[in-house]
Structure 1
Amino acid sequence: MVAHVTMYSTAVCPYCVMAERLLKAKGVAEIEKVRVDLDPAVREAMMQKTGRRTVPQIYIGETHVGGFDDLSALDRAGKLDALLNPT
């Protein structure tokens, strides 16, 4: 079973698109997207939760992965599959 993935994003965000593409290539069929550009309160909540202001901010299960660069680094290090498919 693939872990639940939540991604804070905006409508125009190339890094969000790249993150989604990588996750789908890893077998993630559904990504819960939280649009922070539609409501300033949602962006504020994301910043409080993550300590960051940029998108994407990605959670796999309860684990805050970070942005696309962090996600990509996890994949290159061989650690992304274990997060996505917990035993």
Structure 2
Amino acid sequence: MSIAIQIPQISGEQEIEVEVKINGIKQQYNYRVEIFYWKDCKSPEHKRVECLREIIETYNGDWGLYQIGLPTEEYVPITFRRKREPVA
């Protein structure tokens, strides 16, 4: 299940913290939206698929890929979600 929450359009990077109650239990989710510029890619000939793979594989291990936004000719926005401890 997923619920869409509109986030104000702010240029650049964003840190998003969402706190919800599910069946009376409070939970917190953290998201990070970052902008990555194609010109900064280290992959040969700036191949975009390889660039995305490199970004995702080398990103901070505390965060997992959540969504790849609509790319432009200059950049791609990527949303990561902070990994959570499994509930026992």
Question: What band does the TM-score fall into relative to the shorter chain?
Answer: under 0.3
Which structure has the larger Rg?
A: 2
More helix by share: 1
Which one scores higher on RCO, CA 8 angstroms, separation ≥ 6?
A: 1
TM-score, normalised to structure 1, is: 0.28
